[in-house]
Each structure stands twice: as structure tokens, then as C-alpha cells.
Chain A
Amino acid sequence: MLEIKSLHKKLGSFELKAIDLKIQQGDYCVLLGPSGSGKTLLLELICGFQRADQGEIWLAGKNVSKLPIQQRGTSMVFQKPVLFPHLSVKSNMAFALQINKIGRKKINNKVEELAHQFQLTHLLNRKPGQLSGGEAQRVMLARALAAEPSLLLLDEPLSSLDVLLRYDLRKLLKELNNKGTTILHVTHDYEEALRMAKTIGIMQSGKLIQWGGPQDVFRNPASTFAAELSGLKNFFEAELLPETANGLRKVLVHGVLLFTQSELDAGLGKLVIDENQIILSKDMPHTSAQNNLKGHVKQFQMTSYGFEIEIDCGINLIAYITEYSFERLALTVESEVYVSFKTSAVRYFTT
């Protein structure tokens, strides 16, 4: 559907370097990266606001690298609603159709259909200045879809909305995707990426540093950067030791010895322990888990899904447990607690 081949673009001191990616028809792809990583520039290159210095962009089997914006078949939804203020909601939605000189009846039908789908019917005669943020963003989306794009580009479309509206719009975007619209969505919010994406790309200083399903990307971050961006809590500098024990590798984290599985050479690197796979108990556990540490609760806080507990066991570990577990273990600050996790919850990598 979309294929990008070693795309380069230099813009002032910023450089987009050798971007390669492939998006399948019907995919929901999220490009995740901090501001200044080149996500928006990549979108602008795809829809034609910018011309690439090198490389090719193929859309629906056609090389569009040199095609003008109008002939690329992409629709962009911007971070803030960019509705034409002098036109009514209806005329905004009909803009692309009127440009293409489609008959009045067809235009009306299409606008009505979209208005119904996006719950905009009662707003059709309003001017954009009279819309709320969420309504305006829905009109933006409807207007973009009226053009029947082969690829929908979203540039942080949710960031200017409050939580409730975000939820509604996310739902709407998912529905669109389920109906077959291919979407490329850019954001700096990893939770958003996690919620929406079928495929995730991580961008850092003009490079696409990781590409894959959300599971792969967040469970196996390819770099420190990807791990930090994903909000992983238990993230350490570590030293992988050369010796093995029972087929497992020993790894040293600030003086604490852990076991992991790795094919990498001994040396310095990074280590992630999945906070969802950490088990807490009051007594020494007798399980198959190879990593068992004794520590005490440093602090805890309530979250939307239970409790986040910080345990000092030589290293500071974060574990997530449910409210029920929290009460059952009767944890307080300074409580003694055992921490255990399997070697598969420990991932070592070099950057």
C-alpha cells in the first residue's frame, strides 16, 4: 500500500535519514517519537508538502515521489483543526468533492452519509468558529475522508483534545480502520500508540530505529531510546557476564546478580525487567522463577489498574499489583517483601 525506499530529506540543520518502511492495506501504523524526531516531516513528504532529496515513495502501486500534492491520494488531518473559517461545516466537508466537480446530488449524499457517521448532522450549517474542539476535529476527519484517500495521515490529531473527547475520537479512528481505511498516525504519546497501533515505528533524530507490532516494540525495545519512550519502568545499565549457569546467563545490575537468557557477547548494556511479570510475596517463594530477591517497599501509589509498588532490593524495582493483592499482602512502607521473576522477564540488550 505505502512503501518508502531510502528516503532522505535535509531541512536546515535537521536531516531525515534513509527511511525505509512498508505499510499494508488496512494497517493502522503509528509513528512514535518525541518532537523534533522528524515524524511530521515524514508525513509532509508522503503527502507532498515537501519534496524528498533522495528516495522513493510508492502509494497503491504507483511511484508518487514526484507527483504534485493533489494527485497523491492522501488526506491529512492536522494537530489542530484547520477548517476553512469562511465556509460552513457542510461546505468544508464538500470541499474536495466540489473541487472534483462531482454532481450536486452526489455531493449532498456523500456529505449526509459522512455527517451521519461522524454525528455531525446537526452542525452542518454552522461555521467552524462555532464548533467545540472535538466537533471541529470530527469535521476535519469527515472532510479528509470525503476525498476518499487511499491513505489517511494523522498528525497528532488527539493532542489538542481533552481525555473524554480523545476516547471518542480513538473509537472513531478504530472503526474507520476496521472498515478498511489505511491509517498512518504520528504521535509522541506511547500510550496512544499502544492503544491504536497494529504496527509501530519508533523515530529518533530523523531515523526510523524500530519497526514492528506493538508487542515486539514495547517488549523488545531495540534501544535505550525506544525503552524510555515506551515508558518502561525497570530499566537499568547492566553488565552481561561471560559465565553461564544451568544454561542461563548471569547479568550484574548495580551489584545485584540476575539471570537472563541471551546470545549476546559479555559486556556492558541495558536491561529491562517487565514490571507486569514481577511477583511479590511475604515469604521466600518456592517457584520456578530463577530471580528471587529480598527487599522492602520504598513507596507505593494507586493507579487506575491497582497499585504501583517501588521495592528496594539492591536495585529499585517497580511492580504492578492489583488492589486485592495489595490488601492481601498488607503492604506498607518499609514492609519486607520478596520479589521474583522469570528469566524471560529480563531482557538484556546493547544499544
Chain B
Amino acid sequence: MVTKYSWLRLVFIFFSGIVLLFVLAPLLRLILAPGLSGLIEAASDQQVSQSIFRTLGIAMSTTVIAGFITVPFAWLMARSHFRLKSVINAIIDLPVMIPHSAAGIALLGIINRESVLGQWASSIGISFIDQPAGIAIAMAFVSLPFLYNASRDAFEAQTGLYEKAALNLGASQWQTFYLVSLPMAAKGILSGYVMMFGRAMSEFGAIVIIAYHPMVTPVMIFDRFNAFGLKSAQGIAALFVLISLIVFISLRLLAKRQSDARN
């Protein structure tokens, strides 16, 4: 039991302060540096605002589409028991572990115009290189593990008994999934979606290799920094961080309200 004024508590509070400061200080500095005028200036730059909308739009579509197939996969893995299960789980985690530039190179290897997939896609009029489709693929690759892990954990947390109970009450397997398993795991899945969306919209490394243009905001920040220096990049970066914060806080609140309403 930790008493209120123990040394342990004081030392830990000190450490906590350092960690918080370490995260907050650069972000606060970033947001405060350009000032209100800098933010307005960045926002009124049409290239900047377009890139922000593009980033949010592609990240949102990627999350929704990739999520649609990832959640069933997570359920299947949560309910299956086989020897190579942990290997598959580790494979899904790989995109988080490897450098994102390496992830971009890896993806480029299979979606370039000479590859089988690239050729097939171009035959039906889809191109990945320097296209929104390529950006979406890069985003999905690096962000998918977050949704997968959160959903799988949520499904694993329910015992299979609830599904048995639903089947026993006459529900089909599909009904059992969307009436019982899915709503019961909703909290975890929603928070997985928020994490995936956040990771997707902030991706730089993999995207810059596949699609420098059209520019998503993280690439634009890098581009402006290279071309015009710190001051110019700071305004866009600050604006993007602010927008991310607003998006995240709203999504978190929405997810919380959804799960509160359910439970």
C-alpha cells in the first residue's frame, strides 16, 4: 500500500513529471512558436489546406475499408487455436517494428508498374505510384496492426460462452457475430479504429517512397522544411497537430459515448 507522502510516491511523481514534460514541451513549443498569425497564414495557404483535407480523407477511407476486413480476421484469430498462431500475430506486428521507409520500399516492390499487381491494377485503370491509392496502401500497411491487435484483444476478452449462448438461443453464426460478438467488443474495436486512423494520418516514411505527390501533410511539412526552413514548416506542423488533437479528442469522446451507451 502506498501512503500519500512516501518517498516512493515522491520519486515516482518526479519521474512522471519528466515524462509528461518530455512529451508536452516540444508540442507546446511547436504550437506556440508560429503564433496565431502563423497558424492563420498556414491555414490560408491553399496547398496546405488541400493537403490536410487529402490526408484526413484518405486516412479515413483507408481506416474504414481496411478495418472492414481486419475486424473479422481479428475475430477468427481470437477464436482459433493452432500452432502457428503466435507466428501470424508476430507477422501482423511487423509493419510496426520495421523502419517505415523500409515498409515503403517493400510495398513499392509489389505495387510498382512492372509488378504483377501493378500491371493488373493498371489494366483496370488503377495506378498506385504518386496516386491516392498508393498513399492509402502505405497508410493501411503501417496502421493495420493497431486495429488488429485492439480488436483481437477485445474478442479474446469475451469468453466463447456468449457466442455459444447466442447460437443456443437460435441465432445463426452471422447473427451471433453482429448481435453479440461485435457489440460486446465495440469498445476495444472503436479504440483500435481511433489508433489506426491516427497512425494512418501521421504516416510519413512509407508514403514518401510511394507517393511524394500528391502531398499528404506529413510529406508537405518535410518538403517545406527542406525548401524554406524551420519557420515555414512550423506553421503547417502546428496546424496539423492542432487538427489531429481536435479530431482525436472528438473521436475518443464519440467512442466513449458509444460504449457507455452500450454498457
Does B80 lie at the interface of the complex (its beta carbon under 8 Å from any beta carbon of A)? Answer: no
Does B19 lie at the interface of the complex (its beta carbon under 8 Å from any beta carbon of A)? Answer: no
Besides A70-B167, A95-B171, 18 more A-B contacts (Cβ < 8 Å) are: A47-B168, A49-B164, A49-B167, A74-B168, A75-B168, A75-B169, A76-B168, A78-B161, A84-B165, A84-B180, A84-B184, A95-B166, A96-B170, A99-B169, A99-B171, A127-B263, A129-B263, A143-B169
12 CB < 8 A contacts A-B: A47-B168, A69-B168, A75-B169, A82-B162, A82-B165, A84-B162, A86-B262, A95-B166, A99-B169, A99-B170, A100-B170, A144-B169
A143 — which chain B residues lie within 8 A by C-beta?
Answer: 169
Does A231 lie at the interface of the complex (its beta carbon under 8 Å from any beta carbon of B)? Answer: no
Check if A85 sits within 8 Å of B263, measured CB to CB.
Answer: yes
Which residues of chain A in 71-115 are interfacial with respect to chain B, using CB atoms and an 8 Å cutoff?
A: 74-76, 78, 80, 82, 84-86, 95-96, 99-100
Q: How many residues of A contact B (CB 8 A)?
A: 23
Does B44 lie at the interface of the complex (its beta carbon under 8 Å from any beta carbon of A)? Answer: no
A49 — which chain B residues lie within 8 A by C-beta?
Answer: 164, 167-168
Does B43 lie at the interface of the complex (its beta carbon under 8 Å from any beta carbon of A)? Answer: no
Q: How many A-B residue pairs have CB under 8 A?
A: 53
C-alpha spacing A75/B168, complex, angstroms = 6
Q: Which 5 A-B pairs have the closest CB atoms?
A: A96-B169, A86-B262, A69-B167, A82-B165, A86-B183
Does A147 lie at the interface of the complex (its beta carbon under 8 Å from any beta carbon of B)? Answer: yes
B46 — which chain A residues lie within 8 A by C-beta?
Answer: none
B165 — which chain A residues lie within 8 A by C-beta?
Answer: 76, 78, 82, 84
Which residues of chain B in 116-140 are interfacial with respect to chain A, using CB atoms and an 8 Å cutoff?
A: none
C-alpha spacing A69/B166, complex, angstroms = 10
Check if A82 sits within 8 Å of B161, measured CB to CB.
Answer: yes
A147 — which chain B residues lie within 8 A by C-beta?
Answer: 169-170
Contact with B along A142-159 (1 / 0, CB 8 A): 011001000000000000
A86 — which chain B residues lie within 8 A by C-beta?
Answer: 183-184, 186, 262-263
Which residues of chain B in 153-168 are interfacial with respect to chain A, using CB atoms and an 8 Å cutoff?
A: 161-162, 164-168
Does B175 lie at the interface of the complex (its beta carbon under 8 Å from any beta carbon of A)? Answer: yes
B6 — which chain A residues lie within 8 A by C-beta?
Answer: none
A99 — which chain B residues lie within 8 A by C-beta?
Answer: 169-171, 175
A74 — which chain B residues lie within 8 A by C-beta?
Answer: 168
Does B172 lie at the interface of the complex (its beta carbon under 8 Å from any beta carbon of A)? Answer: yes
A96 — which chain B residues lie within 8 A by C-beta?
Answer: 169-170
Instruction: Looking at the assembled complex, report how far the CB atom of A230 sits from the nearest CB atom of chain B, in whole angstroms.
Output: 31
B169 — which chain A residues lie within 8 A by C-beta?
Answer: 75, 95-96, 99, 143-144, 147
Contact with A along B85-127 (1 / 0, CB 8 A): 0000000000000000000000000000000000000000000
Contact with B along A31-73 (1 / 0, CB 8 A): 0000000000000000111000000000000000000011000
Q: What is B's interface to A at a CB cutoff of 8 Å?
A: 161-162, 164-172, 175, 179-180, 183-184, 186, 262-263
C-alpha spacing A317/B78, complex, angstroms = 56
B262 — which chain A residues lie within 8 A by C-beta?
Answer: 86
C-alpha spacing A48/B186, complex, angstroms = 28
Please, which residue of chain A has its CB at the minimum distance from the CB of B168?
A76
A78 — which chain B residues lie within 8 A by C-beta?
Answer: 161, 165
User: Contact check: which of B166, B168, B171, B184 meets A85 at CB < 8 Å?
Assistant: B184
Instruction: Looking at the assembled complex, report how far the CB atom of B260 sits from the nearest CB atom of chain A, in whole angstroms.
Output: 11
C-alpha spacing A256/B169, complex, angstroms = 58
B184 — which chain A residues lie within 8 A by C-beta?
Answer: 84-86
Instruction: Looking at the assembled complex, report how far the CB atom of B263 sits from the nearest CB atom of chain A, in whole angstroms.
Output: 6
Instruction: Looking at the assembled complex, report how far the CB atom of A233 sits from the nearest CB atom of chain B, in whole angstroms.
Output: 38
C-alpha spacing A70/B175, complex, angstroms = 12
C-alpha spacing A80/B161, complex, angstroms = 10
Query: Could you say which of A48, A84, A86, A129 has the most chain B C-beta atoms within 10 Å of its C-beta?
Result: A86
Instruction: Looking at the assembled complex, report how far the CB atom of A301 sits from the nearest CB atom of chain B, in whole angstroms.
Output: 40
Instruction: Looking at the assembled complex, report how far the CB atom of A304 sits from the nearest CB atom of chain B, in whole angstroms.
Output: 35
Which residues of chain A in 120-147 are interfacial with respect to chain B, using CB atoms and an 8 Å cutoff?
A: 127, 129, 143-144, 147
C-alpha spacing A196/B170, complex, angstroms = 28
A95 — which chain B residues lie within 8 A by C-beta?
Answer: 166, 169, 171, 179
Instruction: Looking at the assembled complex, report how far the CB atom of A328 sits from the nearest CB atom of chain B, in whole angstroms.
Output: 55
C-alpha spacing A129/B263, complex, angstroms = 8
Please, which residue of chain A has its CB at the minimum distance from the CB of B160?
A49
Instruction: Looking at the assembled complex, report how far the CB atom of A340 sits from the nearest CB atom of chain B, in whole angstroms.
Output: 54
Instruction: Looking at the assembled complex, report how far the CB atom of B89 sits from the nearest CB atom of chain A, in whole angstroms.
Output: 24
C-alpha spacing A312/B180, complex, angstroms = 61
C-alpha spacing A295/B263, complex, angstroms = 66
A85 — which chain B residues lie within 8 A by C-beta?
Answer: 184, 263
C-alpha spacing A3/B48, complex, angstroms = 74
Instruction: Looking at the assembled complex, report how far the CB atom of B174 sits from the nearest CB atom of chain A, in whole angstroms.
Output: 11
Query: Could you say which of A48, A69, A127, A143 has the most chain B C-beta atoms within 10 Å of its C-beta?
Result: A69
B179 — which chain A residues lie within 8 A by C-beta?
Answer: 95
Instruction: Looking at the assembled complex, report how far the CB atom of B171 sits from the nearest CB atom of chain A, in whole angstroms.
Output: 5
C-alpha spacing A75/B170, complex, angstroms = 9
Instruction: Looking at the assembled complex, report how far the CB atom of B157 sits from the nearest CB atom of chain A, in whole angstroms.
Output: 11
Please, which residue of chain B has its CB at the minimum distance from the CB of A143?
B169
